[in-house]
Amino acid sequence: MTIAEAVELLHNYEIECSEKDVRQWITEGEIEATENGADYNIKEQAVLSFLVDLSYVGTAYEKGINDETKIVRLEEKVGALQKEIDKLRCEKLKLELKSGSFHFNG
């Protein structure tokens, strides 16, 4: 695909970008492409791989981050998930009390 087609595909995935952006991502090695005169040949899979990489930015799976950063991000995620579990347990208890189906086991 061409640069213009890559931009269109990225727009389909709600990534706002221009041809200049795509050229920069190619230059930086973020999107794999081969030169074809004034344009580039880009495989659809290269653009889709770029989208996957974008989806990991800010997570423990982001490309190029060190192990310490991965650990910190995973710990943050675990903490957030624990808070969500606690919230859901409270909601469950409230519903059980409201419905009269709560049974104390102790």
How many Å apart are CA 40 and CA 1, to the nearest integer? 8
Computed over every residue of the chain, the mean pLDDT equals 94
How many C-beta atoms lie closer than 10 Å to residue 62's C-beta? 15
The CA-atom distances, in angstroms, between 69 and each of 15, 52, 63, 80 are 26, 19, 11, 17
How far from the centroid of its chain's Cα atoms is residue 89's Cα?
28
Q: Which structure tokens are listed for 38?
A: 């004034």
Q: What is the dihedral of CA 7, 12, 16, 17, to 10 degrees?
A: -10
Instruction: Name the band, by pLDDT with cuts 50, 70 and 90, for residue 103.
Output: confident
* 3-state SS, residue 89: helix
What is the percentage of the chain residues whose pLDDT exceeds 70?
98
pLDDT tens per residue across span 40-78: 999 999 999 999 999 999 999 998 999 999 999 999 999
What is the reported pLDDT for 106?
56
pTM of the model: 0.67
